[in-house]
A and B are shown apart, each in its own frame.
Chain A
């Protein structure tokens, strides 16, 4: 009973907290102090504001577009890698997983910084390309959408590879052999058998990349610029620089709904299956 009650109470506390704080008007209605009127009115005004100022719509769309692009990028890069890992000799596999996950265990912030350092205009990448004569003027990657794309793919790649590897590794090879025996060409086996069977991994990996990428703040702030209006950055600016808490909260609530859609779709999909 003790094991049942304590976590339940704590979760109940956290759940209450999260639902109260995620929607500011509700918490304002419950409180009886002086801030009551201010929060209530300001919040609805902020929602109207969100719809009238195009900056917000542009940022939401841009964030979704970027997150989608990065998810596809991670998938294209991560699938072959996960496939290779799953095909490697069994004793080698834990070592391959370890090598892949090791950077993830160090520091996300410092890794982004390292990448920024490498691809900046005067960074080693441009230096090498210039020396090799492949380019004549430095590539401008920082402060561009490409920079943010590279940054997010770099940071979130392990989250894509790991779930993919987990499903590909469990794949029953006799099914693949059966398909080959029945006359399927190697690429047919891959598209008609391997890919559909690894769908759970693809979905899990994509959600793990897509959802955090929408709200990403650090990467667009360090590697992006005015041409990359990510919503996380907009929220941060609204909160820390404009000190407009009601608008920031309204942005957060809208972001939460955007984030919940793919999760609900997944839930619906798994219920149907």
Chain B
């Protein structure tokens, strides 16, 4: 069995491997030379270009709204599914529900994307709607986010002691009231992290969105992708730096808050 310093060094190697490309990219975003591998002086030009890029701003606004809407609706559906799976031992289609909830987690995006597109196309033929665009994006983002919410909430919910809720009902609370006052409060941090996970996944999705979107709805990853395909884009370096920083700081603050809440609960 290897001793402690050498085992943690493997961890450090992995972390270095994960962070190095991101750090180099961040450094490059302040590099005045737009040619890769050459180094000019420090500049904020790429950030100025970013703020003035109408296409990116429009796509960012769509992506943010889409992510918030998908995460919120997925939180509702996913939590209900998790409750059904944890609280009801057996019902018709339980295995099916469990399978359907877990499937999108491992399915390659490309399969989810093409199957959902075919669904929307046949729906369009049968019912005359919805046409492809922001609405279909919202539907399919909600679908895959629901899976992540259900798994996150289910894990937390199965740890919750049912007797607390029963005690609340013995004290005269109605079932819904008892649920909201006890269990829902206990799982609240899990709900928040499920929402956050859904938000980031939706914000980042490229493959599924490319299939289900229409000509007028272009999300941020789609814009990034088309720019990246053309080669090095200093503007994207600046955008990546902003996203890495905002997300990184956001998640750090969130996990600190989670840590405090957990410490208070136990």
Contact = CB atoms under 8 A, between A and B. Distances in A.
Nearest to B106: A211
A186 B1 contact: yes
Q: Nearest 4 A-B pairs (CB), nearest first?
A: A215-B108, A80-B10, A84-B7, A114-B21
A232 B243 contact: no
Nearest to B256: A98
Nearest to A238: B114
A211 B204 CA distance: 20
A7 B116 contact: no
B56 interface: no
Contact of B18 (A157, A235, A256): A157
Interface in A238-254: 239-240, 245, 248-249, 252
Interface stretch (B45-53, B130-138, B160-168, B220-228): B220-228
Interface string A83-127: 111011000001010111011011111110111111010111011
A105 B245 CA distance: 11
A78 interface: yes
A23 to B, nearest CB: 10
A117 B247 contact: no
Contact of B251 (A81, A105, A154): A105
Task: Please tell me the size bucket of the interface on B.
Answer: 35 or more
Contacts of B92: 8
Contacts of B100: 11, 14-15, 18
Interface string A169-189: 000000010000000001101
Contact of B122 (A27, A99, A110, A113): A27
Contacts of A7: 77, 80-81, 83-84, 97
Interface of A: 3-4, 6-8, 10-12, 14-15, 17-18, 20-22, 24, 27, 31, 33, 35, 77-78, 80-81, 83-85, 87-88, 94, 96, 98-100, 102-103, 105-111, 113-118, 120, 122-124, 126-127, 154, 157-158, 161, 176, 186-187, 189-190, 194, 207-208, 211-212, 214-218, 221-222, 232, 235-236, 239-240, 245, 248-249, 252, 255-256, 259, 263
B87 interface: yes
Given A11-B81, A21-B118, A114-B25, A85 B11 contact: yes
Q: Is the interface of A mostly helix, strand, loop or mixed?
A: helix
Interface of B: 1-2, 4, 7-11, 13-15, 17-22, 24-25, 28, 36-37, 77, 80-81, 83-84, 87-88, 91-93, 96-97, 100-101, 103, 106-111, 114-116, 118-119, 122, 125-126, 143, 200, 203-204, 206-207, 210-211, 221, 224-225, 228-229, 232, 236-237, 239-240, 243-244, 247-248, 251-252, 255, 259
Of A11, A14, A113, which is in contact with the most chain B CB atoms at under 10 Å from its CB? A11
Contacts of A235: 110, 114
A213 B95 CA distance: 26
A235 B210 CA distance: 13
A120 B36 contact: yes
B84 A4 contact: yes
A236 B200 CA distance: 24
A154 B106 contact: no
Contacts of A85: 11
B224 A113 contact: yes
B211 to A, nearest CB: 8
23 contacts: A14-B143, A33-B126, A77-B13, A80-B2, A80-B10, A81-B14, A85-B11, A87-B4, A106-B22, A106-B248, A109-B221, A109-B228, A110-B224, A110-B239, A111-B22, A113-B25, A113-B224, A113-B228, A118-B24, A176-B1, A211-B107, A214-B108, A215-B111
